[in-house]
A and B are shown apart, each in its own frame.
Chain A
Amino acid sequence: DAMVIQNPRYQVTQFGKPVTLSCSQTLNHNVMYWYQQKSSQAPKLLFHYYDKDFNNEADTPDNFQSRRPNTSFCFLDIRSPGLGDAAMYLCATSRVIRVGGNTEAFFGQGTRLTVV
């Protein structure tokens, strides 16, 4: 059974038209991540939530925003998609205990975004 679910699997959006990608999890993990992955490249961390605390990477464009209304759901909003934003977007979750440290992250199957 899928534990990290991303919808949709494929998304086509128009240049400049706002788009939202969604992620849900059944693991009750406290950390959720969004990554951007382009062809033949490693996943690039955009931001992550540690509980309700939002952590933005310094090089993540302002065009990318995120919301986490509750533990189970996290959204990636792209305010004005450009052609360069076409990529696979991966959501992941993990359980992190500050004293004990980190644990493995579980990934969804990704949403492949096409910008036309």
Chain B
Amino acid sequence: GESVGLHLPTLSVQEGDNSIINCAYSNSASDYFIWYKQESGKGPQFIIDIRSNMDKRQGQRVTVLLNKTVKHLSLQIAATQPGDSAVYFCAENGDQGGKLIFGQGTELSVKP
């Protein structure tokens, strides 16, 4: 069945360093991917998205890379700040009916 998973459950980085969070997906028919940030006790917050006709998309301090050949997604955060500490989820839209499936999640901890 469809599944989206992450390689690293926890990631600890020094403030100012770059962070890379990875995600693997299994549904080759998925055409839309989203990264969410979730702080404790809050709902997921949209960070950035990418469609399957692209392999890279940049936002403010964040970049998402999509490798359809190996079904891999990554989120890069430049100059990581303490406020970036949260759990990050990738999510996958596998059909045109809006179904949105989340991956395992990575907890990012930023050390000052």
Instruction: Identify the A interface with B (CB < 8 A).
Output: 4, 31, 33, 35, 40-45, 48, 50, 53, 55, 90, 92, 94, 96, 98, 101-110, 112
Contact = CB atoms under 8 A, between A and B. Distances in A.
Contacts, number: 72
Contact of A104 (B49, B96, B101): B49
A101 B32 contact: yes
B99 interface: yes
Contact of A102 (B32, B41, B104): B32
Given A45-B100, A92-B44, A102-B31, 12 more contacts: A45-B101, A50-B98, A55-B97, A96-B96, A98-B97, A101-B51, A101-B93, A102-B96, A104-B46, A106-B46, A110-B42, A110-B43
17 contacts: A33-B98, A42-B104, A43-B44, A48-B100, A55-B99, A92-B44, A96-B98, A98-B96, A101-B31, A102-B31, A102-B93, A103-B32, A105-B34, A105-B91, A105-B100, A108-B43, A110-B41
B100 A94 contact: yes
A interface SS class: strand
Interface of B: 31-32, 34, 36, 41-46, 49, 51, 89, 91, 93, 96-105
Contacts of B44: 43, 90, 92, 107
